[in-house]
Amino acid sequence: MRLRPQSLTARVLLVSTVWAVAALVVIGVVISALYRQGSERGFQDLLRAQLYNVINSIVVNDKSELAGSPQLGDLRFSQPQTGWYWIVEPIGEFNTPPLLSTSLGSGKLPIASLDEVPFDIRYERFYTTVDSFNNEVEVAETEVVLDIQGHTARFRVAGNRDVLEADINDFNRNLYLALSIFGFGGLGMNALAILFGLRPLDQARRSLEKIRAGESERLDGEFPREIQPLASEVNALIDSNRRIIERARMQVGNLAHSLKTPIAVLMNEARVLEAPHGDLIRMQAESMQLQVQSYLNRARIAAQRESVLARTEVEPVLERLVRVMRRLHPEKTFLLTVSPPGLILAMEQQDVEETVGNLLDNAARYATEQVRVTVQSAPEGLQGKDPGRRNWISIDVDDDGPGLEPEQIAVAVKRGRRLDESKPGTGLGLSIVSEIAGEYQGTLELSRGERGGLNARLLLPAVS
C-alpha cells in the first residue's frame, strides 16, 4: 500500500517542494558543467596563446641550434616545480639540445602518444598528464618548421590544472550557496503562496463543520470563482436533502397522526370487551401506539438535527429521573455519579429522558437491591459511529439482577421481543433506546456488569 498525504495542502507543498529541489539540483549541475566547459576552453586558449608566444620567441641561429628566450610574463614559468612549463624539442635530423623553462629543471614531462591524442586540423593537440613532481598538468602541443632548411621543432606549453580546478571549485561553492539561499527562500515563498491560495478551501471546510454541528444551514462566505460553483452545488444539495427529509418527516407524521385516532378507538373498545379477547386487543393496540410514537420521535429528531444544535445538561435530567425511580421503587437503591460535572449532551431533553428512563425502568424491574448510573466523558478507544464529532459521553446503567447471556443480548434489542413474560411491558424499550441513540449517531451496548447483572452503556454525542 502506498502512503499518500491526506491533506491537499501537504500534497501541493510536497509536489512543489520536490519539483523545486529537483529543478535547483538540475540547474546547479547544468550551470556547473557549463562553467567547467567554459573554464577548460579558456584554460586551453591561455595555453595556446602562451604556446604561440614561445613559437615566436624561438629561432634557429647560424650554428643550426635552437635559440631564444621566451618572455611569457608569468613568474610561474621561472619558479621550480610549479607545473607551468614550456619545452622546445628538435625533431628528425635537427640535432640540437632542447630548450626548457627553468621551472621544469631536471624534471620530465611525459608525452601522450599520437594514437591516443592525434593532432587536430590546426595541427594542435591538448592532453592531460602528470609531471615528475606529481602535478596534473594540461599540455598544449604543436610542431613548427622554423626555417627554409626544414628544421622542425616540437613546442609544448604546460599549465597546472590545480589552478583550473580551484577556480571551478570556488565557482561551484558560490553557485550552490546562492542556489541554496534562493531555493530555501523560494520554497518559503512557495509555501506561503500555496497556503494563501488554499485558504478558501479551509474556509469551506469550516463552513461544512458548522453545518455538521448544526450552527449553520448553508456554506456561507465569498469564494473564488474556482470554488464558487462547488459551494453553490453543495448548498443546492443541502437544500434538496433538507426538502427530502422534511417531506419524509411530514409523511411519517401524517401517517402516525392518522393512526392515533383508530388506535385510541381500539383501546377504548378493548376495555369493554371481556377477557381474554379484550386484553389481547388492548396489548396489541398499546404496542401499535408505542410504535407510532417511536416513528414520530424519529421524524422529530431528524428534523431537529437539520435545524439547530440541541443541548441538554446531563446531571439535572438524570437526577430528576432517579428521584422518580426512587419513588416508584422505594425498596431499591439508586446511585448516580456524574464526572466531571457540567457535561452537556448534543440531544433534545425529551430524547435523553426517554433513552435513560427506559434503561432505568428496565434495570429497576430486574435489579435485586441496587441500580447504579455512571456518567462520564467517553474514555479513549470509545468512539461513536460519526467521525465528525470529537466528544462523546458514556452513560452506564448497571444493576445487580440476573443479567443476560450473550445469546440473550442479541435478542433483547429486537423490537417487541421480551425475554421474561412475567414482567410487564411490550418489549419495545431497548429497541427504542437503540433507535434514538442511532439517530444521534450514538450506540447502545449490553454486557454483563461487574456485579453479575446487566450493564447497558449508552454512547452519545457531547457538545464541544
Single-letter code of the amino acid located at 255? L
Distance between CA atoms of 13 and 242, rounded to whole angstroms?
37
Contact 140, 72 (CB under 8 A): no
| Of the candidates 383, 405, 409, 407, the residue with the CA atom closest to the CA atom of residue 394 | 383
Residue 7 has pLDDT above 80, yes or no: no
pTM (two decimals) = 0.50
DSSP characters for 124-186? EEEEEEE-TTS-EEEEEEEEEE-STT--EEEEEEEEEHHHHHHHHHHHHHHHHHHHHHHHHHH
Residue listed under C-alpha cell 565557482: 171
Q: Give the phi and the psi of residue 70 in degrees, each rounded to 5.
A: -60, 135
Residue 230 pLDDT level (bands cut at 50, 70, 90): confident
**Percent residues over pLDDT 90 in the chain:** 25
Distance between CA atoms of 305 and 213, rounded to whole angstroms?
9
Model confidence pLDDT, tens digit, residues 24-33? 899 999 999 9
Residue 379 pLDDT level (bands cut at 50, 70, 90): low
Residue 350 has pLDDT above 90, yes or no: no
The per-residue pLDDT of the chain, averaged, comes to 81
Single-letter code of the amino acid located at 1? M
Looking at residue 305, what is its pLDDT?
54
| Residue of higher predicted confidence among 166 and 241 | 166
Element (H, E) at 17: helix 8-57
Contact 107, 101 (CB under 8 A): no
Model confidence pLDDT, tens digit, residues 169-221? 999 999 999 999 988 888 888 888 877 877 777 777 777 777 766 567 777 77
Looking at residue 417, what is its pLDDT?
47
